[in-house]
Amino acid sequence: MVLLKNMSSKTFFILVFIQTLFGYTIFDHIRDIKNSSSNFVSSYNQDKKVYNFSNPACNSINNKYLYSSLGTHFNGILNTQQLFFNLNTNFLDNLNIAFLRSSIDDINNTTDAWNDNGDGIININEIDYNEISTFNHNTLGLILSKPFVKNNFKLGINSKMSISNLVGKHSFSTSFDLGIYQNIKKINFGLVIKDIFPNTYWTTGKIEKGVSSLIFGSSFNIGSFNASVDLDPFLEEYFIGLEYNYNSLVSVNFSNSTFEKFYLGLLINFEKFSIGYSFALPNQEELGPNQQIILGLNKFF
């Protein structure tokens, strides 16, 4: 029994922990490492051209660069890839787009490995290791983000869709984010209603309804430093970040939050491209560290 359970206990723990306790979705790893906290709902900087899908109101209307990233999360159990770019055409005016993929690979499937003799108790002689197979849990995600600007007031909408595959079953999920941004006397304020109408439709016929949340944020600059605080008062989650910029060439980000006890991000900007690396330690040691590498093309369009 112990041998059978240990085959996939760690992976199962990760799946249950991040999906049940934290309501994890593929969109939770949307993070431009120019931002110093996990959500940074008050981050708007026209010069930096930041992709901020956490608050669609803070997504720049003039992003003309492309970047992709590769990440490993929870000690390599969860892998992510993402691609961000902007379309500015007569038909699609200033539309920010994110393509996402996440996967947990080689999960042990022990469903057919136990030949029960009828007593309901797992015995080592009842385990057929040849019947232990593996499966992958894959998710593809898409975000269409549209900012609207009038004077100093900014509004934005995210339309989020994802498709998941789990042991031959498939699901389709949809939700929306509504964001607001305002600058008052050099202090930035942001508000996001996250995951509006969150529904997941499974091929089994089951429909799962998610949970919406409300996030407040504020940030301000002191010389080369930027400090930010984000708060979800209903879920009692917080995000605190500090960023240091050196002549717009190098930026270093530190943060901690309800979920992460330590986050460090480093970004180096060159004329035509940028390269960055981030490292994070979750508060729950069982989850293991997260790492991410990004490469951006600064003059793609």
Query: All domains of the chain, ordered by start, with CATH?
Result: 2-297 (2.40.160)
**What pLDDT, on the 0 to 100 scale, is given for residue 34?**
53
Provide the pLDDT for residue 2: 38
pLDDT of 49 reads: 59
CA distance 178 to 191: 8
Specify burial of residue 280 (Cβ count, 10 A radius: 0-12, 13-18, 19+).
buried
pLDDT value of position 74: 79
pLDDT of res. 110: 67
Task: Using 70 as the pLDDT threshold, list the residues of the chain that sit under it.
Answer: 1-24, 29, 31-39, 44-50, 60-63, 91-92, 106-112, 116-123, 126, 131, 133-136, 299-301
Residues paired with 262 in a beta bridge: 281
- Please answer whether residues 101 and 81 qualify as being in contact, where contact means their C-beta atoms are separated by less than 8 angstroms: yes
Q: Is 190 helix (H, G, I), strand (E, B) or coil?
A: strand
- Mapped onto helix, strand or coil, the DSSP state of residue 126 is helix
| pLDDT given for residue 150 in this prediction | 79
The pLDDT of residue 284: 78
Per-residue pLDDT at 117: 67
Distance, CA of 185 to CA of 188 (rounded, Å)? 8
Nearest to 71 by CA among 11, 28, 22: 28
